[in-house]
Amino acid sequence: MNEKEFLSYEASGVNIDANDRMVERISRSVASTHGPRVIGLENGFAGLFRLDYDEKLFKRNYRSPVLVACTDGVGTKILIAQQMGRYDTVGIDLVAMSVNDMIVQGAEPLFFLDYLAVNKLEPEVIAQMVESVAAGCRMADCALIGGETAEMPDLYSKDEYDMAGFAVGVVERDRIITGKLVQKGDIILGLASSGIHSNGFSLVRNICFKKQKLKITDKIAELANRQLGEVLLEPTRIYVKSIVKLLGGYKVKKVVHGMAHITGGGLVGNIPRILPADCNAVLNTNAWPVPEIFQYLQQAGPVENEEMFRVFNMGIGFVLIVAPDFADAISAKLTRYGERVYRIGTVTAGTKKVILK
């Protein structure tokens, strides 16, 4: 009589022991993002975060708090990371995509959660991913209080993975920024991007790999002879600390009338989201330097100028629309906080459009 052959979870492609090793490996990176409002809960099923905190040294209480939530992924930029075999940058992108959206409303990010889906759980690789998420959280002054790693060999092929992120923040109800204060004569300020950020990579891949037949390791003369993959994986700039600090300096006056995170849709697609129905945003496209990567992509495509501005940030990753009397002061403050600031346009009468000049 034949003995029974018992099946196991590991034989089906899921390794519980590897998961336990991964959790142990990432614990220090996760803890590095925790401040006094995170409540420790060993072996808990959820993360705990105090909204108000009464201790004198770290006191931070709210009068009329409104929670703000965002979720996003990294898009097909993740395919570039997979080709490069790099796991130490896209976690920053993941955090940036949510927290940069959140601060548009004037909110302060509080905490972040991540979701990683992989073919095979390799503790060293997952640790690099989570460490990059933790790095992004430190840049955004928010706590990484939880996450999930799913090992799904039937859904993802070898070396394939995907990521999603979820952020929660808070803003005082009377300090929510919606764009309703934007008016004709306001000044439009642009903060420099770090490169492509995390939008438009389907077009990037089409240009570089299908049209130009490039390899991810090729060095491109027009990009200072840097490796293509290195340039494409430049992490999204996180604007949280600068914007939160700026807004904290205007506790009474509402001098920032509107803000926009320049993601999919570019400047022409995102700025109208905060314009009144009777206003246009007129942008001077000579007011800031367009990074080399965009110049290269436009020529290598080739891609029409209008399409470039509709897909990519073109060097401006975040926009503020401010009261004209405060534009110089706000520019100076943001420069001190480490941003490259450009006066890129004005608000005029119109029909909720962006006009490029």
Residue 22 predicted with pLDDT over 70: no
Give yes or no: residues 71 and 116 share one domain.
yes
Q: Are residues 248 and 339 in the same domain?
A: yes
Residues 66 and 148 in one domain: yes
Average pLDDT, the chain: 92
Could you tell me what percent of the chain has a pLDDT over 90?
A: 75
Q: Indicate whether 7 belongs to any domain.
A: no
The CATH number linked to 151 is 3.30.1330.10
Q: For residue 3, give every residue at least 6 positions away whose Cβ sits within 8 Å of its Cβ, in sequence order, or none.
A: none
Residues 136 and 160 in one domain: yes
Q: Which residue range(s) make up the domain with 155?
A: 16-173
Give the pLDDT confidence score for residue 2 in this predicted structure: 60
239, 142: one domain: no
3-state secondary structure of 252: coil
- Residues 321 and 215 placed together within one structural domain of the fold: yes
User: What mean pLDDT comes out for the span 161-176?
Assistant: 95
Per-residue model confidence (pLDDT) at position 35:
86
pLDDT attached to residue 7: 58
**Of 173, 206, 237, which residue is a domain's last?**
173
Mean pLDDT across 215-224: 95
Structure tokens at 204: 């990037």
Is 62 found in the same domain as 117?
yes
Distance CA 39, CA 58 (A): 14
Please count the other Cβ atoms lying within 10 Å of the Cβ belonging to residue 194.
Answer: 16
Q: What is the pLDDT of residue 291?
A: 96
- Looking at 127, 146, 173, the residue that finishes a domain is 173
Asked if residue 147 belongs to a domain, the reply is: yes
Q: Do 220 and 351 reside in the same domain of the chain?
A: yes
For residue 223, pLDDT over 90 is answered with: yes
Closest CA to 121 of 149, 89, 88: 149
Q: Look at residue 207 and tell me if it is in a domain.
A: yes
What per-residue confidence (pLDDT) applies to 287? 97
Choose the weakest-confidence range: 16-25, 64-73, 212-221, 233-242.
Answer: 16-25
Q: What pLDDT is recorded for position 45?
A: 82
Give the predicted TM-score (pTM) of the model.
0.91
Q: Structurally, how many domains does the chain consist of? A: 2
Is 179 part of any domain? no
Determine the Cα–Cα distance for residues 139 and 202; give it in Å rounded to an integer. Answer: 27
